[in-house]
C-alpha cells in the first residue's frame, strides 16, 4: 500500500471514529509503529489531526477540506440515502448543477438510469463517473484545479456556471448552523456553490446529519437561499420549526 493511500485510510478511520491508536493501526496496515507515528506526524503538520498519547484525534478545529478520497468513504450509507431521496424527484430530461462534494458524487451515481439529462459540474470525479452516459449533455465548469478536491473553482468556473440556468442546483456544505446558515472551508468553493444556487429553479442543499450544528469559515448562504434540504436523519424539532418558518422543505428517510 502506498503511503498516501494509508494516510487517506487513516483519515477515513478518524472521520468515523474520531480517534486512532498507533498499535491498532500498525496491526491493521501491517507496518511498524514507527511508520504509523510518522504518518500521524505528517497529518498533524497538515493540521488534520492532533497527536495524543499513543495515537491521535481528529482536529475538529481544522478549516481545510479533507481529500475527496477520504470524504467519499465517510458516512457512505447516509450519503446514499440522501442521493436516493434526491433521485426520486429527478426526471428524465432535467438539467442539473452538481457541486464537487462527495454527496453530489453519490447523487450522480444514483441518476445514471435517467435519459437525456444535462449536467453542469465543477467536479472532475463526477465528469469521470458520467463519461459513458449516452444522450446526456455534460458540461465542465472549467477553472482552477483545487488541491486534493478534484474540483474546478475560481472566477472562470463561476463565470461559466452563471451563463446557464437549470432545473435544479444541488450542493453540499461543510457546516450547517441554525443561525449562521451553511458554510464551507474554502472561499473559492463557497463562491462556486453560490453561483450554482443563483442559477437553479430548485435549490437543493444535500447535507448529512454530521454537518448539523457545525460552522466552517466561509458563509455560503442561509435558508433564504435554498428551497429544499435533504438529509439522512430526521432533524430535531428545533431545526424542523426553523425550516417551516423559513418555507424550506426538509426531506429525510421515513423512520
Report, as an integer, the average pLDDT of 75-100.
Answer: 94
The pLDDT value recorded for residue 19 is: 85
How many Cα atoms within 13 Å fall on the side-chain side of residue 83? 20
Highest mean pLDDT among 11-25, 142-156, 163-177: 163-177
Tens of pLDDT, residues 205-224: 999 998 899 888 899 999 99
| CB atoms near residue 119 (< 10 Å) | 23
Whether the per-residue pLDDT at 149 is higher than 80: the answer is no
* Choice between 6 and 5, residue whose per-residue pLDDT is larger: 6
- Residues 248, 226 contacting (CB under 8 angstroms): yes
Asked which of 71-85, 161-175, 238-252 is least confident by mean pLDDT, the reply is: 71-85
> Binning pLDDT at 50, 70 and 90, where does residue 180 land?
very high
Report, as an integer, the average pLDDT of 229-246.
Answer: 96
How many Cα atoms within 13 Å fall on the side-chain side of residue 181? 15
Rounded Cα distance between 200 and 90, Å, is 14
Output the pTM of the full model.
Answer: 0.77
Rounded Cα distance between 63 and 188, Å, is 14
Output the CA angle 137-86-242, nearest 5 degrees.
130
Tens of pLDDT, residues 33-77: 999 988 898 888 877 788 888 888 877 665 556 565 555 556 678
The pLDDT value recorded for residue 69 is: 57
Residues of the chain with pLDDT > 70, as a percent, come to: 92
The pLDDT value recorded for residue 65 is: 60
The pLDDT value recorded for residue 62 is: 57
Tens of pLDDT, residues 184-209: 988 999 999 999 999 999 999 999 99
* CA-based nearest residue to 196, from 233, 234, 151: 151
- Residues 207, 173 contacting (CB under 8 angstroms): yes
User: What value does the mean pLDDT of the chain take?
Assistant: 89
Output the CA angle 188-189-194, nearest 5 degrees.
95
Whether the per-residue pLDDT at 159 is higher than 90: the answer is yes
**What distances in angstroms separate CA 27 from CA 33, 57, 79, 229, one per listed residue?**
9, 18, 30, 41
The domains located in the chain, with CATH, are 3-62 (1.10.10.10), 69-251 (3.40.50.1360)
Rounded Cα distance between 35 and 43, Å, is 13
The pLDDT value recorded for residue 229 is: 98
Amino acid at each position: 500500500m502506498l503511503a498516501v493511500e494509508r494516510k487517506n485510510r487513516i483519515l477515513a478511520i478518524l472521520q468515523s471514529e474520531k480517534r486512532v491508536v498507533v498499535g491498532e493501526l500498525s496491526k491493521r496496515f501491517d507496518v511498524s509503529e514507527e511508520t504509523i507515528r510518522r504518518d500521524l506526524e505528517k497529518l498533524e503538520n497538515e493540521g488534520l489531526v492532533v497527536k495524543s498519547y499513543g495515537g491521535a484525534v481528529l482536529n475538529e478545529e481544522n478549516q481545510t477540506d479533507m481529500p475527496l478520497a477520504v470524504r467519499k468513504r465517510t458516512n457512505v450509507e447516509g450519503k446514499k440515502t440522501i442521493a436516493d431521496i434526491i433521485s426520486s424527484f429527478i426526471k428524465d430530461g432535467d438539467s442539473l448543477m452538481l457541486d464537487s462534494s462527495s454527496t453530489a458524487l453519490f447523487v450522480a451515481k444514483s441518476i445514471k438510469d435517467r435519459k437525456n439529462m444535462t449536467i453542469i459540474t465543477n467536479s472532475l470525479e463526477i465528469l469521470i463517473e458520467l463519461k459513458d452516459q449516452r444522450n446526456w449533455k455534460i458540461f465542465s465548469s472549467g477553472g482552477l484545479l483545487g488541491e486534493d478536491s478534484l474540483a474546478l473553482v475560481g472566477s472562470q468556473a463561476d463565470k461559466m456556471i452563471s451563463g446557464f440556468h437549470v432545473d435544479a442546483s444541488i450542493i453540499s456544505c461543510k457546516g450547517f448552523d441554525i443561525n449562521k446558515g451553511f458554510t464551507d472551508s474554502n472561499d473559492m468553493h463557497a463562491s462556486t456553490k453560490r453561483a450554482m444556487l443563483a442559477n437553479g429553479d430548485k435549490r437543493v442543499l444535500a447535507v448529512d446529519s454530521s454537518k448539523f450544528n457545525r460552522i466552517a469559515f466561509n458563509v455560503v448562504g442561509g435558508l433564504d437561499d435554498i428551497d429544499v434540504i435533504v438529509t439522512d436523519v430526521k432533524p430535531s424539532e428545533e431545526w424542523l420549526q426553523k425550516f417551516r418558518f423559513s418555507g424550506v422543505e426538509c426531506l429525510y428517510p421515513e423512520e
